[in-house]
């Protein structure tokens, strides 16, 4: 299965990607905006978590492709730029991992100059809702035309499902919260609807924001309001340091920072 790391520029995607893929420092692409695919053999709790959520049958020796999607940047008008190539790269994943930032770091400015992980989650959700809404609207029109011409049974069955999805997304609710049944999901499986994809949200903290972990995890949970979405803290920079230490030093380090 393929998981896409999605987020704004400088949220820590590539750092996380490097930790998960256990890249040597010399091969790392930190700060670089390059899409990369990597096959990773579940060496990490987070991937364990993902295989449990998404892929229980294949847990043994599961390999997961992690896709480091180039981050969203602002264009000249100061707004974040959503391009078709970005959306296409998001679409191609079986599950999404939102990487949002809750660390201050002067040398790497947040694209909107505002550190607020919930706002970034909300931004991604809204853009993806908007994409789904446009897709569904188009599809409804197409089906209606086709049904008049061909009276095809499959399309007749599809229409109410698409309309139900449309009505839900129109209320600004993600499709993962619609509770679609197996048949409905099957009908939709070819369409790559973004808010239907299984989601994990990872909030990136550092040693200055570590005491805010509970606060921001709760805020994100309140915003998402969906028990099927896992929300986890991670510590990109600290973990990168950790990955260079041996076991004994690592335990001391983790204790010092209160990382479990």
Smallest gap from Cβ 8 to ligand GDP, in A, equals 7
Query: With the C-alpha atoms ordered 206, 208, 213, 218, is the resulting torsion angle positive or negative?
Result: negative
Interface with ligand GDP: number of residues (CB under 6 A): 18
What residue 123 binds from ligand GDP, Mg ion, none (CB within 5 to 8 A, per partner kind)? Answer: none
Task: Give the contact letters, 109-138, x = binds to ligand GDP (CB under 6 A), - = no.
Answer: ------------------------------
For residues 84-103, which are near ligand GDP according to CB under 6 A? 103
For residues 1-40, which are near ligand GDP according to CB under 6 A? 7, 9-15, 30-31
What's the CA gap between 177 and 195, in Å, rounded? 9
Write out the DSSP string of 69-115: PPPB-B-TTSSB---HHHHHHHHT-SEEEEEEE----TTS--TTS--
Name, in order, each residue with C-beta under 8 angstroms of 27's C-beta and a sequence gap of 6 or more.
Answer: none
With H, G, I as helix, E, B as strand and everything else as coil, classify residue 232. Answer: strand
For residues 8-37, which are near Mg ion according to CB under 5 A? 13-14
Q: Which is nearer to ligand GDP, 30 or 87 (CB)?
A: 30
What residue 109 binds from ligand GDP, Mg ion, none (CB within 5 to 8 A, per partner kind)? Answer: none
With 0-12 / 13-18 / 19 or more C-beta atoms within 10 angstroms meaning exposed / middle / buried, residue 186 is: exposed
Q: Which is nearer to ligand GDP, 13 or 176 (CB)?
A: 13
Smallest gap from Cβ 202 to Mg ion, in A, equals 14
What's the CA gap between 218 and 215, in Å, rounded? 5
Q: Which is nearer to Mg ion, 53 or 240 (CB)?
A: 240
11 phi and psi, to 5 degrees? Answer: -95, -10
By the criterion CB under 6 A, which residues form the site for ligand GDP?
Answer: 7, 9-15, 30-31, 71, 103, 105, 108, 204, 206, 236-237
By the criterion CB under 5 A, which residues form the site for Mg ion?
Answer: 13-14
């Amino acid at each position: 299965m393929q998981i896409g790391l999605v987020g704004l520029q400088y949220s820590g995607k590539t750092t996380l990607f490097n930790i998960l893929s256990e890249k040597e420092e010399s091969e790392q692409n930190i700060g670089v905006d390059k899409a990369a695919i990597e096959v990773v053999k579940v060496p990490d709790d987070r991937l364990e978590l993902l295989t449990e959520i998404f892929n229980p049958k294949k847990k043994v020796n599961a390999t997961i492709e992690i896709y480091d999607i180039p981050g969203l940047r602002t264009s000249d008008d100061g707004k974040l730029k959503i391009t078709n190539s970005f959306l296409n790269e998001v679409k191609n994943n079986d599950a999404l991992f939102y990487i949002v930032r809750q660390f201050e770091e002067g040398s790497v400015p947040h694209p909107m100059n505002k550190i607020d992980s919930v706002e970034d989650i909300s931004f991604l959700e809204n853009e993806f809702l908007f994409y789904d809404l446009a897709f569904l609207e188009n599809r409804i029109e197409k089906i209606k035309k086709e049904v008049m011409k061909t009276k095809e049974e499959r399309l007749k069955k599809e229409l109410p499902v698409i309309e139900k999805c449309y009505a839900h997304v129109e209320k600004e609710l993600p499709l993962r919260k619609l509770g679609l049944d197996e048949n409905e999901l099957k009908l939709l499986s070819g369409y790559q609807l973004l808010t239907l994809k299984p989601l994990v949200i990872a909030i990136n903290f550092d040693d200055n924001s570590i005491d805010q972990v509970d606060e921001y995890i709760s805020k994100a949970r309140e915003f998402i309001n969906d028990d099927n979405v896992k929300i986890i803290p991670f510590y990109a920079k600290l973990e990168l340091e950790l990955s260079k230490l041996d076991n004994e030093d690592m335990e001391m380090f983790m204790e010092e920072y209160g990382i479990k």
